[in-house]
């Protein structure tokens, strides 16, 4: 990637002027001319705040991931996209593919508005048995048409998603009594030889079945009196997962507002599904996929060949998504994650979320900071470890990279706390605190960089921390405008946007009596663009 002036104040000003002129020019171009402009425009991925290892569109607005499916060596990501500007509106399906879940190829916009309305969220299935009659192995998109009413429509592709044909008899499902009637997630239910649709219907999820994707029968509703109800329910996903030697069903439900730290978040329910009704187990709901501010509307890929539950989410929050200080685009995705169902410290099922193993392909070698006995003991006091400066008792990381993974292994004694702070030479700080006394995992975004664009951004963010032992592993994936923090392989996680004046390049550790840092290691992550 070409490094430029974008990382300086003068460079940002120049970039802003240049970007404004460029976008004015683009807006005046035809669609074909716009596509031509986007050939080999690598400078789009060297902007201030532009992530190096996360998916973002080349320009303009994006929100929910849609239509995620695997077919013939490609993972498809469709997404809510405004091809006309960097604010919400004019919604279509953008499209990108990846062969390794890291490197992305942008493809032309897949679906655009029609007489039935804008193209809201939905899913894609691979119709192996040609149940719909569109063709064997057709990619069939089931999506919400947002017109005067929200209805469900179909489109299909016979060329691996490069072009789509909309079904002539759209919409295929409607309910005039429900103003919120959207975000269909469809899968093949083998036990019943039928398609199952999970649909967001206000503050409930309604299940439907079909033999051909065209005619749908209502099965049941779920949601009354359970879970969080601070806002509308969206983007459901019903998946079967392995747990403790048995099969369990998990229902993902995004909610806005009403998240644990305000605004948007994704809750989940664990239970059973008999082909008609989902029944939740008796657990302390609400349960959250991610306690950070910026992990929303995530769903899993269909048709994954190795059976993994691969998940990706929109990395933003409706509280401030329209005003974040990115220049030519707004919105992007989390790193892809693998979901699993495991026991928590109390012996109850909990979703764990870890970054996919494919991240190793873009990672450099691990570099370790440790004492001679591989143990750091901090009784009282303060220690600073430089991640990027070649000084005594420090190590250097290739400055040409804008992202890294940091792993810290530690022991946290009962009734004690430990704070780790990422910072840079500009004074931006991102403290992360682990407290055994009150069982909390706290991130302070108040001094993380630019926060003035929204009163809801610069906040202290809380998560529960229910540990089964004193041993704790903290993994941080740091990009130019985000930090994804995972404790103990994703038992607890916070995903948060940040807008620092430069990448965080220093780690400091402050602890109380008896806290032990066993090891600190870091590796660079190369740009995926």
How would DSSP label each residue in 202-234? SSSEEEEEESSSSS-EEEEEE-TTSS--SSEEE
304 or 415, higher pLDDT: 304
pLDDT of residue 518: 80
Q: Is 460 in the same domain as 516? A: yes
Give the model's pLDDT for residue 503: 87
Q: Verify that 171 and 303 share a domain, yes or no.
A: yes
Could you read off the pLDDT of 95-135 as tens digits, one per residue? 999 999 999 999 999 999 999 999 999 999 999 999 999 99
pLDDT by residue (tens digit) across 66-97? 999 999 999 999 999 999 999 999 999 999 99
CATH classification at residue 213: 2.115.10.20
CA dihedral sign of residues 82, 316, 221, 211: positive
Per-residue pLDDT, averaged over 303-315, amounts to 97
- How many angstroms separate the CA atoms of 49 and 47, rounded? 6
- Beta-sheet pairing, 367-369 with 429-435: unpaired
Domain boundary among 295, 311, 343: 343
* pLDDT of 288 over the 80 cut: yes
Q: What is the pLDDT of residues 159-207, one digit of tens each?
A: 999 999 999 999 999 999 999 999 999 999 999 999 999 999 999 999 9
Asked whether residue 466 falls in the same domain as residue 407, the answer is yes
pLDDT of residue 369: 65
pLDDT at residue 411, as a whole number: 84
Name which residue leads in pLDDT, 349 or 9: 349
Where among 312, 343, 374 does a domain terminate?
343
Asked whether the predicted pLDDT for residue 23 surpasses 50, the reply is: no
Residue 402 banded pLDDT, cuts 50, 70, 90: confident
Say how far apart CA 139 and CA 129 lie, in whole Å. 12
Tell me if 71 is assigned to some domain.
no
CA distance 471 to 335: 26
Across the range 48-76, mean pLDDT stands at 96
pLDDT of res. 515: 60
Q: Tell me, yes or no, whether 367 and 321 share the same domain.
A: no
Catalytic residue among 64, 290, 294, 402: 64
Predicted confidence at residue 38, as pLDDT, reads 33
Same domain, 128 and 273: yes
Q: What contacts 24+ positions apart, CB below 8 Å, involve 440-447?
A: 440/464, 440/465, 441/291, 441/465, 441/487, 441/492, 441/494, 443/292, 443/485, 443/494, 443/496, 445/293, 445/496, 445/498
Q: Tell which residue, 433, 384, 443, 438, has the closest CA to residue 410.
A: 433
Q: Judge if 250 and 151 occupy the same domain.
A: yes
Containing structural domain, residue 32: 1-48
- 220, part of any domain: yes
Question: What size, in residues, is the chain?
Answer: 529
Distance in angstroms (rounded) separating the CA atoms of residues 267 and 347: 19
Identify the H or E element spanning 253: strand 246-256
DSSP 193: T
pLDDT at residue 468, rounded to an integer? 86
> Average pLDDT of 261-283?
98
Instruction: Indicate whether 352 pLDDT > 70.
Output: yes
- Predicted local distance difference test score (pLDDT) of residue 487: 97
Specify the higher pLDDT residue, 6 or 108: 108
Please state, in angstroms and rounded to a whole number, the distance separating the CA atoms of residues 178 and 88: 23
**40 within domain boundaries:** yes
Same domain as 495, residue 401: yes
Residue 27, pLDDT > 70, answer: no
Q: Are 252 and 339 members of one domain?
A: yes
Whether 117 is in a domain gets the answer no
**pLDDT top residue among 454 and 40:** 454
268 shares a domain with 322: yes
Place of tokens 């303009």: 60
The helix/strand/coil state of 509 is strand
Q: Kindly state whether residue 82 falls inside one of the protein's structural domains.
A: no
With b meaning 16 or more CB within 10 Å and e meaning fewer, what string describes 289-313? Answer: bbbbbbbbbbbbbbbeeeebbbbbb
**Domain count of the fold of the chain:** 3
- Examine residue 56 and state whether it is found in any structural domain, yes or no: no
CA 306, CA 308: separation in Å to the nearest integer? 6
- What's the rounded mean pLDDT across residues 143-152? 97
Question: Is 305 a member of any domain?
Answer: yes
Mean pLDDT of 137-158: 98
**What are the tokens at 501?**
């004046």
- Residue 389, pLDDT > 50, answer no
Lowest-confidence range among 40-54, 132-146, 240-254, 427-441? 40-54
pLDDT of 400 over the 80 cut: no
Same-domain status, 338 and 368: no
Element of type H or E holding 451: none
Decide if pLDDT at 430 tops 50: yes
Inform me whether the pLDDT recorded for 371 exceeds 70: no
Q: Which of 289, 303, 403 is nearest to 354 (CA)?
A: 289
Rg (CA), the chain: 23
Evaluate whether residue 101 is within a structural domain: no
Rounded CA-CA distance 458/448 in Å is 8
In this prediction, residue 516 carries a pLDDT of: 73
Claim to verify: residue 435 and residue 484 sit in the same structural domain? yes
The domain spanning residue 478 has which CATH number? 2.60.120.560
Same domain, 371 and 455: yes
Q: Is 281 considered catalytic here?
A: no
Q: What is the pLDDT of residue 478?
A: 96
pLDDT attached to residue 43: 62
Q: What is the pLDDT of residue 139?
A: 98
């Amino acid at each position: 990637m070409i490094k430029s002036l974008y990382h300086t104040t003068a460079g940002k000003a120049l970039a802003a002027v240049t970007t404004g002129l460029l976008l004015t020019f683009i807006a005046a171009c035809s669609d074909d001319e716009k596509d031509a402009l986007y050939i080999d425009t690598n400078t789009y991925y060297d902007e201030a705040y532009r992530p190096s290892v996360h998916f973002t569109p080349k320009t303009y607005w994006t929100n929910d991931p849609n239509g995620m499916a695997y077919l013939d060596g490609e993972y498809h990501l469709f997404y809510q996209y405004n091809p006309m500007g960097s604010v919400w509106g004019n919604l279509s399906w953008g499209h990108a593919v990846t062969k390794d879940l890291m490197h992305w190829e942008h493809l032309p916009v897949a679906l655009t508005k029609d007489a039935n309305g804008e193209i809201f969220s939905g899913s894609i299935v691979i119709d192996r048995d040609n149940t719909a009659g569109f063709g064997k192995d057709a990619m069939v998109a089931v999506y919400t048409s947002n017109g005067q009413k929200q209805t469900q429509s179909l489109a299909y592709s016979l060329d691996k998603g490069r072009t789509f044909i909309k079904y002539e008899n759209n919409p295929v499902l409607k309910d005039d009594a429900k103003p919120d009637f959207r975000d269909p997630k469809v899968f093949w239910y083998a036990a019943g030889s039928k398609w199952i649709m999970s649909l967001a219907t206000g503050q409930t999820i309604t299940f439907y079945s079909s033999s051909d994707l065209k005619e749908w029968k209502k099965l049941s509703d779920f949601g009354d009196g359970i879970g969080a109800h601070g806002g509308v329910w969206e983007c459901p996903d019903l998946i079967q997962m392995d747990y403790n030697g048995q099969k369990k069903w998990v229902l993902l439900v995004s909610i806005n507002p009403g998240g644990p730290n305000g605004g948007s978040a994704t809750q989940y329910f664990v239970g059973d599904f008999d082909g008609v009704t989902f029944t939740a187990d008796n657990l302390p709901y609400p349960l959250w996929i991610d306690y950070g501010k910026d992990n929303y509307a995530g769903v899993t890929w269909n048709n994954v060949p190795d059976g993994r539950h691969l998940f990706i989410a929109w990395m933003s929050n409706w509280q401030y998504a329209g005003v974040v200080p990115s220049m030519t685009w707004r919105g992007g995705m989390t790193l892809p994650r693998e979901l699993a169902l495991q026991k928590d410290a109390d012996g109850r099922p909990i979703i764990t979320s870890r970054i996919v193993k494919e991240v190793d392909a873009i990672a450099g070698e691990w570099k370790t900071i440790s004492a001679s006995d591989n143990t750091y003991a901090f009784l009282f006091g303060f220690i600073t470890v430089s991640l990027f400066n070649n000084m005594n008792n420090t190590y250097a990381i290739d400055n040409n990279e804008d992202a890294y993974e940091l792993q810290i292994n530690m022991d946290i004694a009962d009734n004690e706390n430990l704070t780790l702070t990422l910072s840079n030479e500009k004074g931006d700080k991102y403290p992360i605190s682990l407290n055994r006394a009150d069982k909390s995992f706290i991130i302070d975004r108040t001094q993380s960089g630019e926060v003035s664009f929204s009163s809801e951004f610069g906040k202290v963010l809380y998560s529960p921390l229910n540990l089964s032992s004193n041993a704790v592993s903290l993994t941080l994936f740091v990009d130019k405008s985000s930090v994804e923090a995972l404790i103990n392989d994703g038992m607890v996680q916070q995903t948060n946007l940040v807008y620092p004046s430069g990448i965080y390049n220093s780690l400091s550790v402050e602890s109380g009596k008896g806290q032990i840092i066993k090891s600190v290691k870091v590796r660079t992550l190369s740009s995926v663009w």
